[in-house]
Amino acid sequence: MVDRYWIAFFAVFVYLVRVFEASVGDADPLYRACVEQCEKTGCVGERCFPHCKFPSDGAVVDSPWYLQEPLYLRWKQWDCQSDCRYYCMLDREKEREALGNGPVKYHGKWPFKRVYGIQEPASVALSALNLAMQFHGWLSFFILLNYKLPLKPNKKAYYEYTCLWHIYGLLSMNSWFWSAVFHSRDVDLTEKLDYSSAVALLGFSLILAILRSFNVRVEAARVMVSAPLLAFVTTHILYLNFYKFDYGIITFFHTLLCDPQAMH
């Protein structure tokens, strides 16, 4: 009976991963054809992009490394793939709206319009607001412990979870910072930094929740609880960055653990 439950669990898991892998918009044959045609011709309708002489990976076709597009140019302007996806998305959404259909997601995101070069201004603003609130909370916690509450003779706080909460605050600020950067400019580097930071925060939040909920004070016990979770989180981050960046696995685990950043 137990084996059947495990089989059912893994079947549901695989199904959910497959569901999360692709969005309706980028699975649309018309959208795919538009992007492929744009990357070949450099044009979407009457709009043409001169930097589309570079393919989506940023390198000139059949050219040596010294003719590749520099990183600072890729940061200052949109690359060919980004522009093709963006304008094909806008055209498809206009067609869908004309047919009376609602918007759909493209590559895991709802349709958006750039504002002053910022890809998703609303998400950037919300991420920046979260960053500000996290900084305010961390600074208030620091001032409370070091300037308003009594300290031990060795100048350390009496509160035994001080260090853990400081780490949590720093990881939170780091996560929301890269979230703001990622939503302002979605490139491979910012995407990996954003999701890696979110995974690190999520993993540490789980560790902190366990230690605090069960009031684990003994150092050896803390290590025993934290070590396997840290190993898992580290392995997961390495997997995402150096093996396969799998949106299905990311979304499944983040949603399973109720991570708010899973809704990027």
Rounded distance, CA 177 to CA 174, Å? 5
In this prediction, residue 226 carries a pLDDT of 95
pLDDT of residue 27: 87
Single pTM value for the model: 0.71
For the chain, the domains span 2-98, 121-263
The low-confidence residues of the chain, meaning pLDDT below 70, are: 1-22, 51, 53-78, 247-249, 251-264
pLDDT value for 153 = 87
Q: How far from chain centre, in Å, is Cα 222? A: 29
pLDDT of residue 152: 86
Q: Which two tokens stand for residue 52?
A: 């589309």
Residue 212: which of 254, 166, 165, 170 has the closest Cα?
A: 165
The per-residue pLDDT for 116 is: 76
Other beta carbons within 10 Å of 61: 8
Check residue 256 and give its pLDDT. Answer: 57
Contact 171, 190 (CB under 8 A): no
Residue 151's DSSP bridge partners are 157
**Cα–Cα distance measured from residue 246 to residue 13, given in angstroms and rounded to the nearest whole number:** 14
**CB 176 within 8 Å of CB 131:** yes
Q: Are 200 and 193 in contact (CB under 8 A)?
A: no
pLDDT at 215: 93
d(CA 50, CA 43): 9
Are the CB atoms for 103 and 110 separated by under 8 Å?
yes
Query: 15-63 pLDDT, tens per residue?
Result: 444 444 457 888 899 999 999 999 888 899 888 887 676 444 444 444 4
44 three-state secondary structure: strand
Give CA torsion, residues 119, 125, 127, 133, to 10 deg: 170
In this predicted structure, what is the pLDDT of residue 187?
Answer: 77
- The predicted pLDDT at position 17 comes to 43
Give pLDDT, residue 163: 93
Question: What gap in Å lies between CA 64 and CA 221, rounded to an integer?
Answer: 55
How far, CA to CA in Å, does 56 sit from each of 16, 78, 113, 128, 226? 29, 10, 21, 29, 40
pLDDT the model gives residue 208: 95
Q: What is the pLDDT of residue 93?
A: 94
**Which pLDDT score, from 0 to 100, does residue 234 have?**
94
C-alpha dihedral (172, 176, 178, 183), degrees to nearest 10 = 160
- Provide the token pair at 121: 């201004």
